[in-house]
Copies of this chain bind each other. A is one copy, B any other.
Amino acid sequence: MFTNCTPELARLLPKTVLMQSRELQASKGTRLFTTGEKPSHMFFVLTGEVVLERPGSKGELVVLQRVRQGFIGEASLNSERYHCHGLVISASRLVQIPAHAIRAALETDPAFAGRWIQMLSQELKRLRLQCERLALPKLQDRLLHLVETEGDVGRYPLGAGLKSLSAQLGVTHEALYRCVALMEKQGLIHRSQGDLCFL
């Protein structure tokens, strides 16, 4: 059992599950899980940054999901094997939850199952928006779309830097640096304390 939990997680998980969970610290570079492994634990990110990545056809890594707060790889709860890696890219506080505890609770606690469905549905909508974003032809439009849909009143936290963001936006980091620099010169945005601020 662990003590310091976010309200979100406490509202989502039943007590029986929380009691079997534990908090852990992970430093940058830690592999939470690897392709091919059987999912034994689910991970909830409290602070920091974790990515889900998959080796592309030429060995390069593609970022599938980027989480600063929330579950990572939750779709693999009932999977036989992970189809991607879970990598910590900036020092993070995590909650580690036994997968079997969640599966057991889902079968016996209908209210929890409902909340889990709710969470998956939200993630689905977020991903549909991400697809919409990636379909935009110009990078500047993708950035604006990102802030409209995921930002907080015109602010978007950069987390582990622009480089990890560039993968999520489907462009090279050079292109993103240039795009941000141009938009700053045009007075459309500015950066302050690790946030992108739009005006």
Residues of A at under 8 Å CB distance from B? 52, 54, 56-57, 62-65, 74-79, 83-84, 106-108, 110-111, 113-114, 116-118, 120-125, 127-132, 134-137, 141, 145, 167, 170
- Complexed CA–CA distance, A99 and B74 (Å): 25
Nearest residue, chain B, Cβ from A65: B128
Contact A114 B107 (CB under 8 A): yes
CB contacts (< 8 Å) of A132 on chain B: these are: 54, 56, 62, 64
The minimal Cβ–Cβ distance linking A70 to chain B, given in whole angstroms, is 13
Contact A134 B170 (CB under 8 A): yes
CB contacts (< 8 Å) of A74 on chain B: these are: 121, 124
The minimal Cβ–Cβ distance linking A10 to chain B, given in whole angstroms, is 21
Nearest residue, chain B, Cβ from A123: B124
Known: A63-B135, A74-B121, A78-B118. 17 other contacts (CB 8 A): A57-B141, A57-B145, A62-B132, A64-B128, A64-B131, A64-B132, A65-B128, A75-B120, A75-B122, A75-B125, A75-B128, A78-B117, A79-B121, A83-B125, A106-B113, A106-B117, A113-B117
The minimal Cβ–Cβ distance linking A55 to chain B, given in whole angstroms, is 11
- Complexed CA–CA distance, A118 and B120 (Å): 10
CB contacts (< 8 Å) of A108 on chain B: these are: 110
The minimal Cβ–Cβ distance linking A25 to chain B, given in whole angstroms, is 27
- Complexed CA–CA distance, A14 and B145 (Å): 40
Contact A135 B62 (CB under 8 A): yes
Contact B131 A75 (CB under 8 A): no
